[in-house]
Amino acid sequence: MSKQKMELRPGNVKQRFPNILVPLVNGKALIAAAKKHNAMIMATNIRCRLPVAGIVLASMAAKAPVMYEIAKSEMSYTEFSPQSFVDFIVAENERLGNTDVPFAIHADHLTVKKMEDVEGVRSLMAQQLEAGFTSFAIDASHMENEKNLAATVDLARPIIQAGLNLEVELGEIGAKSGNAEGFTQPEEAKWFVGELDKQGIRPNLLAINNGSIHGTYFGTAHEGIQLDLTRRIWDAIQPWGVDIAQHGITGTSLEKISSFIEYGIRKGNVGTFWQNIAFGLAMNQNGNAVTTEKREYIKRPYRGISDALWQEMWAWAVETGNTGGEIKKANKPFAAQFNALPMAYKERTTAQTYEEAIRLFEATHSIGLAESVWEML
């Protein structure tokens, strides 16, 4: 990365990493490039270290920008703090020689469930800004719309002042999924974005409840993203130039993901899928984990971590009540064992992650988008 490009990085990144030639940039530029070229940015939730090398290598090969993200809740059940997360993502890009394909680091789901949570989230955001995060998602969607608005306005101001990428949320993701009740509606999205704008807050992205869920679809449940509704919401917020952030993509077909760009979706979150790869779980063609009627996973002996480590993890999950979707909570207590795995297990995880990331870059139409990101800075 040239000295000229180094100067295009956000102020918090230049302060934290003054001499490292790694293209950590403002997430706003990634979204702007996707908007210009009718593409979508893949955002990868990282819960353990194992999948990251494959994603970095695929991003470099495809010249596809990517967002590495971690939610507030994920920091409670992974090894990462704000600083260690940024340090690891930057170190992996540096180790693998990425000096030119831009990426962002995104604070996913800064969740406010009640107004008393605001100060804690404010403190976390200050830590993330200092650590080098370049994109933020404020999620006060658990509260009624008026309180959501008040909390979002309050917390968004430092992000707006820093000029960084801002995502906000209206309609709790996965709430009452599968029926119309609880879905975000176009008229309330128009009200929400309009009221934010009146108070000097113009987000780049709006996350909505359009039928997706976080994690694995169990049993007869099926992916249910309502694209017609998404398009109507997007149309309603176009007076402010705001696009859609799609959460909960794991389990969605590549064909459907490929169509997202026609519905105003500019960022797509993929999280549990990478965990499935790291754990070596059997998946269907859409990346959803295959489970038994008892919601037990099926471990593939030739994928991901060792069978012995998986058996130890599953015994822990049964003992602690963390089976089903709660297996994600194994990431923290087993992090040291993941990181100490023999190279053969890491390499096969990297290889599978690389291939799947390439497919997702193709489906998001983001291959070759890297140079456009630099033009947006």
Per-residue pLDDT of 337-376, as tens digits, reads 999 999 999 999 999 999 999 999 999 999 999 999 999 9
d(CA 24, CA 103): 5
Residue 295 lies in a domain: no
Name which of 16, 18, 43, 40 is nearest 107 in CA terms: 43
Question: What is residue 50's predicted lDDT score, i.e. its pLDDT?
Answer: 98
Provide the pLDDT confidence category of residue 218 given band limits of 50, 70 and 90: very low
Residue 340 lies in a domain: yes
- Please name the residues in contact with 274: beta carbons below 8 A apart, sequence gap of 6 or more: 44, 45, 46, 47, 51, 55, 353
Provide the pLDDT confidence category of residue 181 given band limits of 50, 70 and 90: low
Tokens 């999948």, located at residue: 51
Per-residue pLDDT of 226-240, as tens digits, reads 999 999 999 999 999
- Structural domain total, the chain: 1
Contact 170, 188 (CB under 8 A): yes
Contact 190, 236 (CB under 8 A): yes
> Looking at per-residue confidence, does 77 or 173 come out higher?
77
Q: What is the average pLDDT across 17-38?
A: 97
Mean of the per-residue pLDDT values of the chain: 94
Residue 308 lies in a domain: no
Provide the pLDDT confidence category of residue 173 given band limits of 50, 70 and 90: low
Determine how many CB atoms are found less than 10 A away from the CB of residue 319: 9
d(CA 69, CA 89): 10
Range of the domain at 95: 3-282+284-288+327-376
Question: What is residue 251's predicted lDDT score, i.e. its pLDDT?
Answer: 85
Name which of 12, 188, 179, 196 is nearest 105 in CA terms: 12
Question: What is residue 80's predicted lDDT score, i.e. its pLDDT?
Answer: 98
Residue 108 lies in a domain: yes
Assign residue 223 the CATH number of its domain.
3.20.20.70
Question: What is residue 294's predicted lDDT score, i.e. its pLDDT?
Answer: 86
Name which of 247, 172, 259 is nearest 205 in CA terms: 247
Residue 192 lies in a domain: yes
Of the ranges 91-95, 294-298, 319-323, which one carries the lowest mean pLDDT score?
294-298
d(CA 287, CA 20): 35
Contact 139, 112 (CB under 8 A): yes
d(CA 141, CA 110): 10
Residue 124 lies in a domain: yes
d(CA 203, CA 246): 15
Per-residue pLDDT of 119-149, as tens digits, reads 999 999 999 999 999 999 999 999 999 999 9
Residue 220 lies in a domain: yes
Helix ranges (DSSP H) in the chain: 3-6, 11-16, 27-36, 52-62, 82-95, 118-131, 145-162, 186-198, 227-236, 254-259, 272-279, 307-320, 335-339, 343-363, 370-376
Residue 314 lies in a domain: no
Q: Residue 321: what residue type?
A: G
Per-residue pLDDT of 191-215, as tens digits, reads 999 999 999 999 999 999 998 655 5
DSSP output for 64-127: --EEEEEETTGGGSSS--HHHHHHHHHHHHHHTT-SSS-EEEEEEEEE-SSGGGHHHHHHHHHH
Of the ranges 143-152, 177-186, 283-292, which one carries the lowest mean pLDDT score?
177-186
- The answer to whether the pTM exceeds 0.85 is yes
Q: What is the average pLDDT across 308-331?
A: 97
Residue 220 has pLDDT above 50, yes or no: no
